[in-house]
Structure 1
Amino acid sequence: MLDFDQADSSGSETKDRKLKLYSYWRSSCAHRVRIALTLKGLEYEYIPVNLIKGGQFDPDFKEINPMGTVPALADGDVVISDSFAIIMYLDEKYPEPPLLPRDLHKRAVNYQASSIVLSGIQPHQNLAVIRYIEEKINTEEKTAWVNNAITKGFTALEKLLVNCAGKYATGDEVCLADLFLAPQINGAINRFQINMEPYPTLTKIYESYNDHPAFQNAVPEKQPDAPSTI
């Protein structure tokens, strides 16, 4: 039996077929995809996968994503199970509004900023890693590990974006980098209590995210599987 909650699929047909997003409320990877879906104006069925209770290891979910991670997106018979791949798929299938600027330098900065989060920060703070460190060593080492990964990445992002940021990461339009930065900064502040004073550029653009409806609707505490008290 599935360990995650299967949402009611009645009335799930839209013009084509409603997308299905397998998500966990506090996953920053799933958070990125929720922002993309909302920016594109796409309706989707939210299917919670409880990572704390081990829903990612359920055999039925492993059929959807053999890696046992969220997010996974089902678009009819097409299933994609990596946040970057999902976002690029959505941007190509639903090109408005575009997530990549036409300017090649700004486009490269978007890829670079996204990569810093995708490979340089988030993997070091995901649930499996920090649980392992805490179990094998101690809580203090876990905290130091996470803080080092975030501060190293944020220092690089601050230098990368300081001369090209506008309202958002690379100007006054939301782009790919913003989808990666918003969840990462949110988690750093609210989950790991990172001091943002050394990162004024990141702080400024994060304030813009907090004023944007697509970003507001995607925050962890507004998801259907979020606990009533956080």
Structure 2
Amino acid sequence: MILHGYWRSTTAYRVRIALNLKGLPYDQEPHDLRTGAQRDAAYRLLNPQALVPTLETDDSGVLTQSPAILEWLEERHPAPPLLPPDREARVVVRAMAALVACDIHPLNNLRVLETLRSELAASEAQVQAWIARWIGDGFTALEALIARHGEGFAFGDTPSLADCHLVPQLYSAERFGVALAPYPRLVAAGERARALPAFAAAHPDCQPDADR
């Protein structure tokens, strides 16, 4: 498999974690979002949306959108599972993942931040306040869910799709200087996950295209 991504992309980070947890080999094809490499015509043939990640597979063609890729990985390579066996528990894990994927990340991705700066003339202080606002709202909800369902990890006592989403978003919060003191359970779950080799190897700083 070939994973098209960018070292700091939290969506590509999610997929790297899942691939590593499942022990699946893959090559990486980087696209520097800062230079607009993802808008190259050749890449648009793979992903018409010109976003990362994209996963090229041997048997299922080209996959886009990280939540869909993660669900494909879970179905195609079910061991070790990243969703619990209980139906109601799976709903909770998917809801925790969607809280990040749908309600935090889209408001703070590169396209949105660039629009705030270039089209709405937002100052850097205003951009930082925007980032902190949406991460804070999401983390407040996640903190409550982890308190209710976590047993070391975001949900239960083993890594799940919730952790695949939480850890990259925690990295983003740290990168942008968001205060994390109000979220002790969330931080503890993230730290436990990041201590695992699969998560550590997926960290942005460990990727071949990372700034050195």
Q: TM-score range by the shorter chain?
A: over 0.9
Q: Distance in 2 between matches of 1:163 and 1:32?
A: 23
In the alignment, what sits opposite 2:171?
Answer: 186
Q: Which has the larger displacement, 139-148 or 65-74?
A: 139-148
Q: CA deviation at 1:210?
A: 2.2
Aligned Cα RMSD in Å?
1.0
- Structure 1's unaligned 5+ residue stretches are 1-18
In the alignment, what sits opposite 2:93?
Answer: 110
Is the Cα contact below 8 Å between 2:154 and 2:190 reproduced in 1? Answer: no
Question: Does residue 139 of structure 2 align to residue 162 of structure 1?
Answer: no
Is the Cα contact below 8 Å between 1:134 and 1:141 reproduced in 2? Answer: no
Is the Cα contact below 8 Å between 2:4 and 2:52 reproduced in 1? Answer: yes
Question: Does residue 2 of structure 2 align to residue 20 of structure 1?
Answer: yes
Q: Which has the larger displacement, 96-105 or 117-126?
A: 96-105
Question: Does residue 30 of structure 2 align to residue 85 of structure 1?
Answer: no
Q: Distance in 2 between matches of 1:139 and 1:186?
A: 20
Q: CA deviation at 1:144?
A: 1.2
% identical equivalent positions = 40
Question: Does residue 170 of structure 2 align to residue 197 of structure 1?
Answer: no
1:26-41 map, 5 Å: 26-41=8-23
- Structure 2's unaligned 5+ residue stretches are none
Q: CA deviation at 1:126?
A: 0.5
Q: Distance in 1 between matches of 2:176 and 2:86?
A: 35
Q: Which has the larger displacement, 178-187 or 76-85?
A: 76-85
TM-score by length of 2: 0.96
In the alignment, what sits opposite 1:44?
Answer: 26
In the alignment, what sits opposite 2:198?
Answer: 214
Q: Distance in 2 between matches of 1:104 and 1:200?
A: 28
Between Structure 1 and Structure 2, which shows a larger proportion of helix residues? 2
In the alignment, what sits opposite 1:9?
Answer: none
Q: Which has the larger radius of gyration?
A: 1
Q: CA deviation at 1:108?
A: 1.4
Q: Distance in 2 between matches of 1:105 and 1:162?
A: 17
Q: Which has the larger displacement, 67-76 or 127-136?
A: 127-136
Equivalent position SS for 1:73: strand
**CA offsets 1:130-188 (integer angstroms, 9 cap, x no match):** 11112222222211111111000000111122121111111111111110001001110
TM-score by length of 1: 0.89
Q: Distance in 2 between matches of 1:207 and 1:80?
A: 30
